[in-house]
Amino acid sequence: IFQGVSHNRSICDLSFHYCGLADNRIFSILTPFFKENHNFESLKINGCDLGRDGLHLLTTALTEFDSLKEFELSRCGKDHDGSYIQALTGHSGLRKLSLCENRIGRNGYAVLATLLQNPNTELHVLVLADNEIDDERVVVLATGLTENSTLKELDLSKNPFITE
């Protein structure tokens, strides 16, 4: 099916929920889809354990195009260094970013802060629920919020380590 999708130019929204993406070749196979489908606006990956290799391939795929308006990466495990978030900075039309239950590392929050500070950002919704965010990471994130004028919704629910 992925070979067929890779040649499609009309799909706007692509979702993977609790799929077996263990070999992670999917992102390489779908590179032509990402590059050539100018209608593509939404990528949702939920409950798929990508592992370090899968995140690297996803990051590479995200740099191949710039049309995303919505990106969701939820319940995909492990502490991440933020490289896939960095790859999203090229998507200037990104309006919704949902990163629930990913235990994002400190560097990931620094990249998010930079994304929020970008005067060209159109981000309206940022969902960081259930990421074990602590006060240190909130301070990093807050640096990006002080100069942001586009964000309308910020979800920090289910983060019991935020005390300040």
What pLDDT is recorded for position 82?
82
Residues 102/74, Cβ–Cβ less than 8 Å: yes
pLDDT(23) > 70? no
- Positive/negative CA dihedral, 20, 128, 122, 118: negative
Read off the pLDDT of each residue in 8-37 and give the average, rounded to a whole number.
79
158 pLDDT higher than 90: yes
Considering the chain, what percentage of its residues have pLDDT values greater than 70?
94
The b-or-e profile of 135-157 (16+ CB within 10 A means b, else e) is: eebbebbeebeeebeebeeeeee
DSSP structural state of residue 91? -
Retrieve residue 70's tokens.
């919505």
> Higher model confidence: residue 67 or residue 103?
67
Pick the range with the lowest mean pLDDT from 77-91, 111-125, 127-141, 148-162.
Answer: 77-91
Q: Mean pLDDT check: name the lowest of 29-38, 61-70, 109-118, 136-145.
A: 29-38
Q: Return the pLDDT at 116.
A: 95
